[in-house]
Amino acid sequence: MTTFGEKIAELRKDKKMSQGELAKMLNTSTSVIGRYERDEMTPSIEVAKKLLLCLILLLVIYSVKRRTIHSLKIL
């Protein structure tokens, strides 16, 4: 079973984002992100919500970019 930290790392890496970039979005440090990903520390509910929103935002942005690029190729 995948842990919360492993899932965070997987999603972050899928979007080619560094721990530093994610830390900036969450207004925290790179070391804290690393600790979350290694399951050494569990984020509070508030931080987990922010983290989820950041990752959802990245997915939406990626999807919009992909559709735009695809539609330009058709033209």
What is the domain partition of the chain in residue ranges? 4-74
Indicate the pLDDT class of residue 59, thresholds 50, 70 and 90: confident
Tens digits of per-residue pLDDT, 10-47?
A: 988 988 889 999 999 889 999 999 999 999 999 999 99
Q: Which two tokens stand for residue 11?
A: 């999603």
**pLDDT beyond 90 at 52:** no
What's the Cα-to-Cα distance from 51 to each of 26, 41, 57, 62, 68, rounded to whole Å?
A: 7, 14, 10, 17, 26
**pLDDT beyond 90 at 73:** no
Q: Was domain 4-74 assigned CATH 1.10.3720.10?
A: no
Q: What is the pTM of this model?
A: 0.75
Alpha-helical segments (H) within 1-75 = 4-14, 19-26, 30-37, 45-74
